Amino acid sequence: MSRYLKRALEHFYNKEFKEALFNFSLELQVDNSCNEAKVGAMLCDLAFEKEEEAIALFEYYMITKDTGIKNSEEVIEEIINALEFNLEEISEFLLKKEIEEKIDEENGIAYDDFRTIISEKESFKEAFEDIMFSTKVIIHNKEDFLDFLEQLVENGFKEMSMNYFESAVSMFPNDEKLRSLIQKVQE
Q: What is the pLDDT of residue 145?
A: 84
Q: 17-69, pLDDT tens digit by residue?
A: 999 999 999 999 999 888 889 889 988 988 888 888 888 888 888 887 777 77
Q: What is the pLDDT of residue 88?
A: 57
In this structure, are residues 151 and 125 in contact, taking their beta carbons and an 8 Å threshold?
no
Q: What is the pLDDT of residue 109?
A: 81
Q: What is the pLDDT of residue 93?
A: 57
SS3 137: strand
Phi then psi for 83, rounded to 5 degrees? -60, -45
Distances (CA, A) of 113 to 94, 134, 136, 144, 157: 19, 15, 12, 12, 20
Q: What is the pLDDT of residue 97?
A: 61
Q: What is the pLDDT of residue 107?
A: 66
Give domain limits for the chain: 3-92, 106-186
Taking Cα atoms as reference points, which of 177, 107, 186 lies closest to residue 142? 177
Which residues of the chain register pLDDT less than 70? Answer: 83-107
Q: What is the pLDDT of residue 148?
A: 87
Helices (H) and strands (E) in the chain, counts: 10, 2
